[in-house]
Amino acid sequence: MIWSAVIGASLLAFAFKYLGQSIPQSALAHPRIAKIADLIPTALLAGLVAVQTFANKSELVVDQRLAGLAVAAIALYLRANFLVMLIAATVTSAILHQI
């Protein structure tokens, strides 16, 4: 059963990738489509961050991960290097987790 799901998901992924490659360039050049395509990765990343920060299985939680996210947001606002932001957020979360 699991292998049929894996094969089915693989075929769907291939089909979507093929369909995406076969869309004519003129359709993608439309300004509204281009703006939507630019915003999709941002929306997906925001959703991933929200789920990873506030979810624990099927529960809504507020814990040290929120503090790490806040530190990361402040570091990005201050235009810190990505590595500095990542280390600051990780250290903050780890210290608060140990408390």
Smallest CA-to-CA distance from 86 within 99, 98, 75 is with: 75
Predicted confidence at residue 27, as pLDDT, reads 82
The pTM of the full predicted model, rounded to 2 decimals, is 0.62
Residue 75 to residue 82: CA distance in whole angstroms: 9
Q: What residue numbers bound the domain in which 98 lies? A: 62-99
Predicted confidence at residue 46, as pLDDT, reads 93
For residues 52 and 83, membership in a common domain is answered with no
Length, in residues, of the chain = 99
Terminus-to-terminus CA distance in the chain, angstroms?
Answer: 44
Mean pLDDT by 10 residues, the chain (99 residues): 92 92 85 90 93 89 93 96 96 95
Smallest CA-to-CA distance from 23 within 8, 10, 7, 34 is with: 34
For residues 74 and 44, membership in a common domain is answered with no
Tally of structural domains, the chain: 2
Predicted confidence at residue 29, as pLDDT, reads 85
Predicted confidence at residue 30, as pLDDT, reads 87
